[in-house]
Amino acid sequence: MKHLAEDKLTSSFVAITPEIAERWLKKNGVNRKLRDRIVAKYAEDMKAGRWLPSNDAICFGVDGKLYNGQHRLSAIILSGVTVTLLVQRNMPLGSMLAMDQGASRTAADALHLVGHKSVNVLAAAAKLAILYSDGRMFGDTQKQGVSHGEIVDFVDTHPTLQDSIHATYHAHKQVDCSHTRLAASHFIISEAVGPHYPDIFFEQLATRANEPPGSAVLAVDQRLREVRRNRATFPSRNYIYLLVKGWNYYATGDTVQKLSMSPRGKFLIPKPVTWSR
């Protein structure tokens, strides 16, 4: 039995219109269940011009059925744009079993490939910052997918995110909160009010030096310690909410004894500092 039909295999780059994509999807064979979130992420990249050709081909078998590419073809239809993709035809029967077996590249891998450092924290913090800036963080969790291309673009156009990572490096070793969440919160606040006072706020979270009773810094620290002590589990948006809420008390100089971590869909905007130091 001949397992490979190299003499029949063809490969070429094809400009695929939404009409072509729709026609090809009718040839769908036994692909995986379509994941709408993946399609939406791909479509956003395509509409924004972030989608680039790769060696991951749209594949058709010798039986004419679509073996690989349903998410990308669906995204082309959703985006309404024409996208150039590699297309392979006459794949041998059974070749679908060998597809998608390699480890998937992460957003951190994508950042590393274009020369960034501290890529794990950078990628995760960028995702949180994107969700916050787009207003998706406190909304429907089904709409919180962020593509690798979107993260790379955001990092390239917001170099101060790296500054936020550096500014919170010491704090994350002293505070009961991940470096990613601290960096994202610092960035969100700094984008609204500038970096000077957020630097002080996060440094005070790390040291709590000379903070008076009723300080927002102490209230944030107390709530984070309670979370660790109770072994509670909260999503990242709850931490962002707590840190921005604490910052707002700090910025206005108002006292607070206890802070909640439950946003309940509430979107907070960092307040400007109303005092000088």
Tens-digit pLDDT profile for residues 21-45: 999 999 986 566 788 888 988 999 9
pLDDT, position 101: 46
Whether 116 and 219 share a structural domain? yes
Whether 129 and 82 share a structural domain? no
Edge-to-edge strands, sheet with 66-68: 10-16, 83-91, 58-61, 66-68
pLDDT digits 0-9 by tens, 192-231 = 999 999 999 999 999 999 999 999 999 999 999 999 999 9
Residue with tokens 């009961």: 176
Tell me the pTM.
0.69
- CA distances for 257 relative to 211, 217, 220, angstroms: 13, 10, 9
Helix H or strand E encompassing 229: helix 216-229
> Rounded to an integer, what distance in angstroms lies between the CA atom of residue 42 and that of residue 122?
21
Rounded to 5 degrees, φ, ψ at 170 are -70, -40
Structure token digits, residue 204: 């005070």
Nearest to 149 by CA among 182, 113, 103, 186: 113
Whether 115 and 81 share a structural domain? no
Mean pLDDT of the chain: 88
Confidence of residue 141 (pLDDT cuts 50, 70, 90): low
pLDDT, position 197: 96
The whole domain housing 79 covers 10-98
Whether 137 and 184 share a structural domain? yes
Residue 174 in domain: yes
**Count of domains for the chain:** 2
- CA distances for 178 relative to 27, 171, 185, 262, angstroms: 46, 9, 11, 18
pLDDT at 249 over 60: yes
Whether 111 and 246 share a structural domain? yes
